[in-house]
Structure 1
C-alpha cells in the first residue's frame, strides 16, 4: 500500500498527493496496478466552507454570464431586424426617388409642349384677330354701302299685285330684235312682211311652232331704225320652248330673242350685273394680293367630293367609300378583284358600293369573276349599264367583266381567252378611248403572255388598261419578270398609274405587301386621281380612278306633244256643226286640224331607275366592316379583332339580304291582285326575258359568234327569206292523194238597207268601251279624241248615211 505524500512535498498539481501511480513511469506492469487501492481525500472543514463560497460565486457569475448572453443574443437579433428594415427603407426610398425623377422629367416635357402649344395658339390668335378685324371692316363697308337688294325701295301691296299680274301677262310674250324694218309705206304690208319674217325665224327654231296671236312693232315707225317686235302666243309652253332652243337659229348674228320683261325686272337685272362686276373686280384684287401655297401631289384627304386641282396627278388612301374625293367633270372608273362574283351576296354588295358614289361611275371593271356559262351572266345586271364579259367555260376561276354606262357610246373591240389569260377591250366613241381589262394566271408563261400583250398594246391607240397581272411592282428591279414587263410597257409608250409605294399596295397579308393590280395608260396631257380602297370583299384592295377634265353629259330632255282636250272639244263642236252634208272626209279633215291646233309641246327628264333597297345604312355598315377588316390585318394574332370582324361581316350579309327581301316582299304584296304586274316583277327578278339582258348585241350560229351589226342583219334576212321553203320541205308528203273538197256557194239574204239606224247611245257605248291607254292608229287620232266628239248628233247622222 502506498501513501499520499505530505503537504510539504506538494507540487504544482491540483491536489497535495503524489503523481498518479498508474502512470507508465511509475508502474509499468499490469499486476502492480491491480494491487493499488484508492481512497477519497480527506478535507478540512475550513476548506469546505471556502469551496462552497467559491461555488456560489461561480454559479452567480455563470447566471450573470447567461443573462448577459441572452441580452447579447436578443440585442443582435433586434439589430439584425433593424438593419433589414433599414435596407428595405433605403431601397424604397431609392425607388421613390427614381419615380420622382421620371415624373419630374415628364412634367418638364409636358411644360415644354404646353409652352409650344401656347405659342402656336398665340400665333393663331393673332391671325384670328387680323381676320376678325378684316371681317369687321368689311361689315362696316357693307353697312355703309348697302347692296341693291337692301337699297330697294319698299313697294306697296298694290304695286306688288300689279307687278305679279303684269309678269303673268307677259309670260306668253317674246321680243325679237334685229329684224330689218320693211320699206313699204302701208302699215298692212309692213305687218304682213313682219309676220312672214317672224314665222321664218320661228320655224327654224321650232318646226311645229303655231302662229303668234299678235305681232306688233314697238315704238314709232322709222325706216332708218330697227324696232323690236313683240309676239304673243296662246300657250306659255310655246314661248318657253322657243327660248330654250333659240341657239339653233344662227342665220343672223344681230337677231336676238328674249323674254318680255317688266321695267322692274329690267332694272333689277341691270343692278345685279353691276354688282356682279364690282364683286368680280374686288375678288381679282384680293386674289392678286394673297400669297399662294404650293400644292403637293400626294393627297390623303377625308373631305368628300373635292379635289384640290385639275392639272396634277393625285393619290389617296380611302378608309371608306364616303371619303373618296370625286369631281363631277371627270371620267370615273371602279376596279375590283372580286374573287367570285357568283358567290352569294357578292353582287348585291357590289350594287351597294356603286350606289354609295354621289357621282355615277362610267365604268365598273372586275377581274376573277369566276363566271362559267352564258346563263350565269344574265344574273348580273346593273341598271343603265351594258355588261361585257369573258369567262372560262365550265372551269372554276378567272373571268373578267366591264360594266359600261349607257350614256356613253361603246362597242366591243376584242375578247380573248388565251391559255387561261383573259384580255378584253371596249371602244368609247365619245372620247376616242379604249378601256381594257386583263387577268393573267399566276402559273402562266410570262414570255408568252407578254408577247400577246405587247402585240395588242402596239395595235391600239389611246388606252387605259386595268387588271390583275400577278406581277409585283414592289419587287426588286433586278428580277427578270419585272424588268421584262416594264420594258414592254416602255417600248409601247405606256406608263404605270399606280404609286409604287408599300402604303399603296393592292394586296396585303400579315407578312407581305404587293402591287399586282395595275393601271396602265398611254394618254397624253391627261391628269388623274387614284384612290386605294380597303375592302373585305376579297383579299385584293379596290381602285378608284378619275380622268380629269371630262365634260359630263347633261341630262337629255325628252320633248313630247300633249293635246289640250278642252280646246279640242270647243274646236270640234264648231267644226261638226259646219258639216251639214255629213261628209266623212270633212269629218276626218276637221278632226285632224283640230288636234293639230290643240297640241302643245312639253318636256321631261327621264331619270334612271333607282334601287330603293340600297340605303345609307347598308353603305355605312359596309364601311364599318371594311375598317374592322383593316384592323384585323394589322393585328392578325388578336382573336378579339378577328371575332369582331367575323361578327360584323355576318351582320352585313344578313342586313343586305333582309333589306332586299323586305323590299321585294312589299312589291309582291302590292301586286297581289294584279297578275300582269306580278309576272313583270317575276320576270325582272328571274331575268328570263331577252330584253332584260344587258349584254352587247351578238349572234351565235354554228358555235360562231357574230358581233358586227351588218352581218347580224344579213343572217336574219337570210333566215327569214328561207324559213318558208325550209319548213315546207320538212313537211312529210302523204302516201295517198287527197281529193279537193268542193263546197257549194253560200248565198245571203241580208242587204245593207235592212240594217237598223245607229243611235247616239250606241256610238257612245262603243267609244266608251275603247281602251284609253292605247296608241293612235294610222290616222294619228287617239281614243280620247274620239271621246270628245261622241255626243255629237252630226257624228250619228254621218254614220247612218
Structure 2
C-alpha cells in the first residue's frame, strides 16, 4: 500500500517531510547522533592500530624501567642504611676510645699531682736536713774554737816547760818541726796522685812493654773522664808482679789540680771508656785505616767554587784506600741552588745549606749511596749554617755546623744547644771559630755546654793536633764531638796546603742493629681446608643447620697450623723531618714577629712560610697515601690497613677460634654454600663472584635462629681474595626462606 505524503510548501514549510537543506541552529544540535558508525571495510585493520600498539609497548617498557628504577633505589637505600649502621658503630668506637683517652689523662693528672706532692715533701725534708746541717756546722765551729783555745793553752804550757828545760826543748822542737814539714810535703805529693783499681794488667815478661801498655790504658781512662787532663809524669803498679793477679795503678801528676778534677768528676758521674786513637800525617797513604768502620772526611774548603778545588777533593777521596761514607765541607761559599747542583760526586748524594744574605759561609754533606740516609734538619739562622743528616742503619745523626766568629755567640749557643738536646745518637763536625787551646770564657762556656748536653769533644787538646796553623799561633777551631758511649774512634789530622785549615779523617765503630723479633701465631692451611671440606659427607637434604655449622668448625680446627712472623719495625708515616723543620721555621718567624709587630717584611715572610707549611703538609700527606695505595694494587690486606689508619679504626686481631670468625677462600665458600641445606639456598649452584648481593642469608628461627652473614670486606684484610662469614645470634627473630 502506497502512502502518499503531502508535499511541503516552500513558503510555509508545512508538510510531513522536512527540508534538510534548510535547518536552524537548534535543529542542527537536536539532529546530531552519537551512534558508532561501522567501518566500511571491517576485514582490514585501522590506520591508528599500529600507533596504539607502539604506545602500549612504550608504556610497558616505561613501567618496567620504573620498576627496575624502584628496585635499584631500594637496593641503594639498603646499602646506605648498612653504611650508616657501620658509621654509627665506628662513632661508638671513637667515643669509647675518647673516653679511654680522657680516663688515661685523668690518671696521668693524678700521678702528676702525686709526684708534685712527693716533690713538696722532699723539698720540706731537704729544708729540715739543711737546718740540721746548719746546726752541725755551728757545733763544729764551736768545737774548732774550743780546740784552738786548747791549743793555745798547750802552747803556753810548752813555752813554760821550755823555759825550765831549754836544751831538751830546742832539740825536740826542731825534731817536731822536721816531722811536720815532712808530713806536709807528703800530703802535697799525695794530692798530686790517684790510684786506679781494676785496670787489666797485661801478662808479659817485658817490664817496659807492660809500662807502655799501662800508660796507654791510663790515658784512655783519663781522656774518657775529662778531655783536658794532662799526661801524668809517672804511672806504675803497686806491689810485686804476680801472673794472674791485677795490681793497683798509681798515677802521678805535676800538680794537684788534675787529680782533684778526676776525683770530682768520677764521684758524680759514670766513666765511659772510649778507645780513642790519634794521628797526624801529610800523606793520605799513611792513614791508619781499619776495616768495618764508618768513615768520615772533613774539610774547611774556603770556597769549593774556586777553580780546581773540587777536582782536588775528588783526587783526595780516590787516594784514600777505603770507602769514605760521609764527606763534610764547611765554608763552601755556594750562593744558590744552581751552584749547588754543579758539585756532584759519583755514587754520593749532595746535601747543602748556603747563605742567603751575603757572600761566604755554607756547609755541604756528601753521603754514600750504600747507606740509607735522609735529611734531618737544615737551617740558616743569624749567619750560622746547621745541617743534619740521618743514617738509618746506624741510628745516627751526623751534623755539620759553621759558626763564623763575627755572629752573635749567645744566639748561636741557644740554637746549637737545642739541636744537641734533641738527638739521642749523633756526631758533629764543624768550624766553630772557638779555640780549644785557649782558656777564655767563651771556650769554657762552650765546653760546659757540651758536657751538660751529654757530649764530649773528641779532639786531642794539644798543639800537636791543632787544626789551623798561622805564622803567630796554633789553634783548634775545627771540632768533632759526640754523645756516643763505649765506642772506638780514630782521628787523623792531615796537613795540606789546600786551605789554611787542616783536614780530618775520622773512623767510628759500626753500630749493629737489633735482631728481628719473631712471633708465633695460628693460621689456616686453606688448601688442606679445601680438600677436607670437599670430601666432607654433608647431606644437602638434611635441614638441621647445627650439623652443618659443627662440621665447618671441626674442619677449621683440623686445618689450623702454627706459623712464625717477623715483627718488622714501624713504617715511616707521612710526617717527616722536613715538615717538622718547616714548622719550626714558621714558629721562629712567629716569635720574631711578636717581638717586632710593625715589621712589614717580617709579616710577609711569616705569611709565606705559614701558607707554604700548610700546603706542604697537605701535599705530603696526599702524595704519601697515593703512593701507598699504588703499592697495594693487588694487596688487599695492606690496603685495608691503610684504610683503617685513615678512618682511625682499631686493628683487629684475626684470632678465629676465640671470636668465632670462620675464614675460607672463595672456593671453600662455594663448596660450603653448595653443601648447605637446600631449604635455605637462594640458587641451586653458588658462585661467589656472580652475585655478591645474594651473600646475605637469614635462617629461620626454628633452626637455632642462626644468621650467617657472608661479607666481602671483613677478612679481606687478612688474606688476598678472602671471603668470610660469621655465626652470631640475631637481635630479633627474623624469618626469610628462599625456595
TM-score bucket (shorter structure):
0.3 to 0.5
Q: Which has the higher contact order (CA 8 A, sep 6+)?
A: 1
Which of structures 1 and 2 has the bigger CA Rg? 1
TM-score (norm 2): 0.35
